[in-house]
Amino acid sequence: MKSLKFLHNFYKVNKNSYIFTSRYSASNGIVPQIDNNQPFNQQHEQKQEKQGQQEQHNKKSDRKYWSNIIGIIGLSGILFISSLGYSSYLEHNRKEKVFHAFKYGRIAPNLDISHFVKRPDINKQLNYILTPEANSKSYHLIVGENGTGKTTALIQACNEVNGAVGGIVYVSVPETVDEFGKLLGDSFNFDFNEDATPKGYVNRFFVPSPPRSYSSHGCFRRVKPFIEEAATRYKQQYNRPPVLVIDNINWLALKDSEMLEVLQDFAKNHADKSDLTVVFVSSDGNGPRYLRDRSSFSRCEKPIMEIGDISENDAIAFLTDDGVDPDIASIIVKEITGGRFQLLNEAKKNLKKVYHHLKLKKVI
pLDDT computed for residue 9 by the predictor: 42
Last residue of a domain, one of 285, 308, 331: 308
How confident is the prediction for the chain on average, in pLDDT?
78
Domain check: are 97 and 143 in the same one? yes
Same-domain pairing of 321 and 200: no
- Give CA separation, 41 vs 22, 37, 44, in Å: 19, 7, 5
Do residues 190 and 240 share a domain? yes
* 352 in any annotated domain: yes
Please indicate, yes or no, whether residues 352 and 274 belong to a single structural domain of this protein: no
For 222, other C-beta atoms within 10 Å of its C-beta total 17
* pTM for this entry: 0.69
What mean pLDDT comes out for the span 100-125? Answer: 79
**Residue 6 falls inside a structural domain:** no
Concatenated DSSP letters of 66-133: HHHHHHHHHHHHHHHHHHHHHHHHHHHHHHHHHHHHHHH-EEES-----S----HHHHHHHHHHHS--
- Asked if residue 244 is part of any domain, the answer here is yes
Q: Residue 333 gets which letter from DSSP?
A: I
Q: H helices within the chain, ranges in order?
A: 38-104, 120-130, 150-164, 180-187, 198-206, 216-238, 250-255, 257-273, 286-292, 312-320, 326-332, 341-349, 351-360
Q: How far apart are the first and last CA of the chain?
A: 171
Residues 174 and 290 in one domain: yes
Q: What are the start-end ranges of the H helices in 239-311?
A: 250-255, 257-273, 286-292
* pLDDT per residue as tens digits for the range 267-317: 999 999 999 999 999 988 888 999 999 999 999 999 999 998 888 888 888
**172-196 tens-digit pLDDT:** 999 999 999 999 999 999 988 755 5
Please compute the mean of the pLDDT values over residues 326-344 and round it to a whole number. Answer: 81
Cα diameter, the chain: 171
Q: Is 32 a member of any domain?
A: no
Does residue 19 lie within any of the structural domains? no
Residues 133 and 222 in one domain: yes
Residue 284 phi, psi (nearest 5): -150, -170
Q: Is 166 left (phi over 0), alpha (psi -120 to 50) or beta?
A: left
Examine the domain organization and report whether 277 and 245 are in the same domain.
yes
Clarify whether residues 335 and 281 are in a common domain: no
d(CA 326, CA 236): 51
Domain boundary among 268, 284, 308: 308
Same domain, 93 and 239: yes
Residues 292 and 328 in one domain: no
Identify whether the C-beta of residue 117 lies closer than 8 Å to the C-beta of residue 149.
yes
The amino acid at residue 353 is K
Q: Is residue 118 part of a domain?
A: yes
Asked if 277 and 242 touch (Cβ cutoff 8 Å), the reply is: yes
Task: Convert the pLDDT of each residue in 28-53 to its tens digit.
Answer: 444 445 445 555 566 666 667 677 67
Which domain covers residue 142, as residue numbers?
86-308
Comparing 142-146, 213-217, 278-282, 290-294, which segment has the lowest mean pLDDT? Answer: 213-217
Distance between CA atoms of residues 199 and 221, nearest Å: 17
Number of domains in the chain: 2
Residue type, 300: C
CATH number of domain containing 181: 3.40.50.300
Report the alpha-carbon distance of residue 230 to residue 232 in Å, rounded.
5
Residues 298, 341, single domain; the answer is no
- Residue 20 domain flag: no
- CA 152 → CA 141, 144, 155, 197, 354, distances in Å? 16, 11, 5, 38, 23
pLDDT reading at 197 higher than 60: no
Query: Exposed, middle or buried: residue 67 (CB in 10 Å: 0-12, 13-18, 19+)?
Result: exposed
Is 128 in the same domain as 241?
A: yes
The answer as to whether 142 is a domain residue is yes
